[in-house]
Chains A and B, each alone.
Chain A
Amino acid sequence: MVVSFKRLTCATALAGLALTTMAAAADIKIGIVAPMTGQLASEGQDMENAVKMAIDAVNAKGGVNGDKITTTTADDACDPQQAVTAGSKLVSEGVTAIVGGYCSGAVLPTLKIYGDAGIPFVIIGANSTKLVAANQGNAFLANSTGDMQATTAVELFKKNGFKKIAVVDEGDAYSSDLAKLTAEAFKSAGGEIAAKETTTAGEQDYSAVVTKIKSNGADAVFWTAYHAGGALLTKQLRQAGFQGGIVLGDGNNSPEYLEIAGSAGEGVYLLSPPTVDLLSGAADFKAKYKETYGRDAGAYAALSHDVGDLIADAITRAKSVDQKAIIEALKASDFKGLAGEIKFTDKNTLQTSNFRPVIAKGGKWVAVE
């Protein structure tokens, strides 16, 4: 009795061991790095959920090249120091590829860790141009860098037949850069800059600037700074009888803008990152996300889902788990997701800007078809 029992345990243990080894050999492990604690924990949770949702769907269809994908999450807390710890953890776990990254500041110091280890890394949210410079060739930016907004702005001006644009910023680095880039891009596209104005942050009266814009005969105004000033400018432009178009940079994506601008905000364009509420094709995804996780999909959920799909797609095309091959496959990506097209330039940034114009209708932002 005793002997047979021992044998039985032994056999079970062996069988179990064999099973785990088999599973380990067949699984592809993807690391997710996102802020799971701290102020941006909610965004991080969204990123993890959405990537997992994409991976689960891939696994349900049989995985990639016959193998299942598993994920492991590391918390960077949007903090540079913790991000380095989280990155080292993922590297030591031997992940095949890494996706994630919300804060540019936290992603930046990890680029070297992943670069030295040669791990393919698709960055979901972080979009500072500093990341482009620090990239060792293994990292890919799935979100448009801030300066690509200028391209989207110029496309929107042309589509609406605006020929003379007034560009207004608030004098800070972000808004004046965007104003400058847009003015240059619009001029080289054959447009005319009617005025380039600067307001003071915190000030309430923009009438002098409004008068200048009107007298210079601008068809449209492009406001590159933030929602508080944007709402005041919109109101005062309409109050002064300005009939042209008003276009706002991504810093105005706030419900407060619509509240303060009120009826003056109607018909105003906003250049928005591909947040899930503004994507026309993301309704099914939104519903399914809510069903699966019991909460609304956050701003970057759609893009995170796309990146989950993209990495599975790249591994499929690489036909192996060799990291060099996956990086080559990512470079050759030609992917169409919920948030738009993902094709990379030779600097591993998006070829086409994923900022998209939305319009204020009935006190809400809606996608422009």
Chain B
Amino acid sequence: MTLDLLIQQLVNGLIVGSFYALIALGYSMVFGVIKLLNFAHGDIYMNGAFVGLIVFSFVGIWVGNGWLGVVCALLVSMLVVGLLGVVIERFAYRPMRNAPRLSILITALGASMVLNGTALALTGGRHYAFNTDLGFAGVDISTVHITYTQMVLVAASIALMAGMQAFVSRTMYGKAMRAVSIDMGASRLMGIDVDRVIALTFFMGSALAAGGGVMAGAYYGSVHFFMGFIMGLKAFTAAVIGGIGSVPGAMLGGLLLGLLEAFGSSLPFVGSEWRDVFVFGTLILFLVFKPTGLLGRSVVERV
């Protein structure tokens, strides 16, 4: 492998990894607080992309198809889909909070299917074009071409994640979130409004997923009802590799998974069809030998 190829694959891995990290973060936060693998998370990402596309087409009439349109789409979609996350939590997960773990897990699968099926019914399975004027201009380092869009994308997701980390570690609400994740009962006794903290967690996690969805839609230029499935799977893998429940772990896991994939495609002797075997093989190895992931702490009760 030449140096150019190495750098290019590194860049590729970073870009796709930052998407994984954004989605994995929401996965991880929700798991951290209520110990639920929110299978609907990938579909929330898909909904985010669709809401973003609708807003983008709408504001595009006034502001054009450039950066301003994408930023509007991003903010509106994060807000709307964040609220959708809260609604799902309120009506699907909260009534199940004291039910056995398996019941709520199945509820999450159900929520995923409801979102996915609704999108299928509304769009008829069509692939929608998300055409921006962002263009392919960028910087060339020898044969490696990095577009400005790619740079902004990585920077934006890092900023979002850093903001999230700061929120969780520095603010009062963040402290409440951490408290609920350690002991829900004791937090309630200390006067923390647990329902509100959980709703907030869902809002933030869903908003991050929606942000990822809008960015992916605008970057790849296409949106469809099934786009959340593989993303959900990969984000779950990233969250496990990083240590599920840990915010920095989700970021690390996402970036690492992106790099694993990029280099997994260039494995010597075998072709790119082995990439997923390589990636999910890594997931199994982690689950067997280090189930808490790279930065995770051990959880007493797991699903």
Contact = CB atoms under 8 A, between A and B. Distances in A.
B127 interface: yes
Nearest 7 A/B pairs, CB to CB? A198-B273, A208-B265, A207-B12, A259-B129, A260-B129, A205-B16, A204-B220
A231 B128 CA distance: 11
Tell which of B4, B126, B221, B227 has the most Cβ of chain A within 10 Å.
Answer: B221
Given A211-B8, A211-B9, A262 B129 contact: yes
Nearest to A234: B221
Given A211-B8, A239-B147, 10 more contacts: A198-B273, A207-B12, A208-B264, A211-B262, A214-B143, A215-B4, A227-B127, A231-B221, A260-B131, A261-B221
Contacts of A262: 129, 131, 221
A133 B145 CA distance: 50
A204 B273 contact: no
Nearest to B136: A239
Interface in B1-55: 2, 4-5, 8-9, 12-13, 15-16, 19
15 contacts: A171-B273, A202-B229, A205-B12, A207-B262, A208-B262, A208-B275, A209-B265, A212-B266, A215-B4, A215-B8, A227-B127, A228-B222, A235-B221, A236-B220, A240-B145
Tell which of B2, B128, B272, B276 has the most Cβ of chain A within 10 Å.
Answer: B272
A203 B216 CA distance: 11
A197 B272 contact: yes
A256 interface: yes
Interface of chain B, main secondary structure: helix
B275 A231 contact: no
A198 B230 contact: no
Interface of A: 171, 196-200, 202-205, 207-209, 211-212, 214-215, 227-228, 231-232, 235-236, 238-241, 256, 259-262
Given A208-B9, A208-B12, A212-B265, A232 B221 contact: yes
Nearest to B7: A211
B100 interface: no
A200 B19 CA distance: 17
B229 A232 contact: no
B271 interface: yes
A252 to B, nearest CB: 12
Contacts of A232: 220-222
Contacts of A204: 216, 220, 222, 227, 231
A241 B142 CA distance: 12
A59 B272 CA distance: 58
A228 B216 CA distance: 15
Nearest to A258: B129
A228 B262 contact: no
Interface in B269-288: 271-273, 275-276
Contacts of A197: 265, 271-273
Contacts of B275: 200, 208
Interface residues of B, number: 40
B276 A200 contact: yes
Nearest to B274: A198
A200 B15 CA distance: 18
A260 B221 contact: yes
Interface in B112-140: 126-129, 131, 136
A238 B221 CA distance: 13
A209 B272 contact: yes
B224 A228 contact: yes
B89 interface: no
A198 B277 CA distance: 12
Interface in B172-196: none
Contacts of B224: 228
A231 B130 CA distance: 12
A235 B276 contact: no
Contacts of A199: 272
A207 B231 CA distance: 16
A215 B220 contact: no
A211 B5 contact: yes
A236 B128 CA distance: 17
A240 B8 CA distance: 10
A112 to B, nearest CB: 36
Contacts of B261: 208
B127 A212 contact: no
A192 B227 CA distance: 35
B220 A241 contact: no
A177 to B, nearest CB: 14
Contacts of B136: 238-239, 241
Contacts of B264: 208
A209 B271 CA distance: 10
Contacts of B273: 171, 197-198
Tell which of A196, A199, A215, A261 has the most Cβ of chain B within 10 Å.
Answer: A215
Given A202-B227, A239-B147, A212 B272 contact: yes
Contacts of A207: 12, 15-16, 262
